[in-house]
Structure formats: structure tokens, C-alpha cells
Amino acid sequence: MAPAGPDGQVEHLTSGYLFRDRRVRRLVSATRRTRRDPATGGVSRIELSGTDADGRTLDVVGEARSRMFLPGHSLTINTFIEWSGDGLQAWGEDQDVWSAAGFADHVRERGGSGHLRPR
């Protein structure tokens, strides 16, 4: 599950929960691998692996189904995600918050225009 290309990001999460079998337990370790759309910079795929306090593991993939850019003093990208894996099918939202200048720099560094434009 290694990220592909320059738009892959790996994060080691410091908080989270796993709700399974009618039990909620804190994640004691988790890794999030994020791939981004090279044209827009928005999240396109998330691979999430973790272990909870009971030793149960989680390995799921989230695929972006739509996204909405909310510009202002900062930029929030809300992405509707379809999750699958471990016998799971679920939907949720990823919120990605940037400074407007930081996001423009991030996209330009990866060969995009850095402008928010419809596709």
C-alpha cells in the first residue's frame, strides 16, 4: 500500500476509533496513505491500516466519489468517500484544510496550475 508518485502522503495517526461488533475501541496505531488528484490536488484515495486496543486490525480503502472546494481565508476540501475492505462498505467525508497560499504552492509544485477551476 505504498503511495504512488509525488502526490502520495503517509501519515501516522495519533487518534481514532474502531467501531466493530458493537464495540468502540481507541486505535492504538494507524497509518493513513493518501493519494491526490494531480489536476486538482484533492484527495482521490485513502488507504487506512490500524490496530485497536483489543488487537483488532483495520485495513480499508476509501475512494473519492465527489469533492467540494470551499475557498475563503483558508481552503477546505470536503471529499465524499466510499470505504471498503474488511467486509465493510460505508460512506463518509474527508475534510482537508489548507491555507489558500499553501494549497496553491502544493499544487504548483506537483505540476498543476494551483487555480481552483471546474473540471
Mean pLDDT of 51-62: 95
The verdict on residue 119 lying in a domain is: no
In the chain, how many domains are there?
1
β-pair type (43-52, 23-36) = antiparallel
Residue 4 has what pLDDT? 43
Could you tell me which of 91, 92, 77 has the C-alpha nearest to residue 43? 77
The verdict on residue 4 lying in a domain is: no
The verdict on residue 1 lying in a domain is: no
Q: How confident is the model at residue 109 (pLDDT cuts 50, 70, 90)?
A: confident
Q: How confident is the model at residue 5 (pLDDT cuts 50, 70, 90)?
A: very low
Residue 8 has what pLDDT? 65
The verdict on residue 2 lying in a domain is: no
The verdict on residue 82 lying in a domain is: yes
Parent domain of 14? 9-109
pTM: 0.79
DSSP letters of the chain?
A: -PPPSTT-EEEE-S--EEEETTEEEEEEEEEEEEEE-TTT--EEEEEEEEEETTS-EEEEEEEEEEEEEEESSEEEEEEEEEEEETTEEEEEEEEEEEEHHHHHHHHHHTTS-------
Count CB neighbours of 79 within 10 A.
22
The verdict on residue 44 lying in a domain is: yes
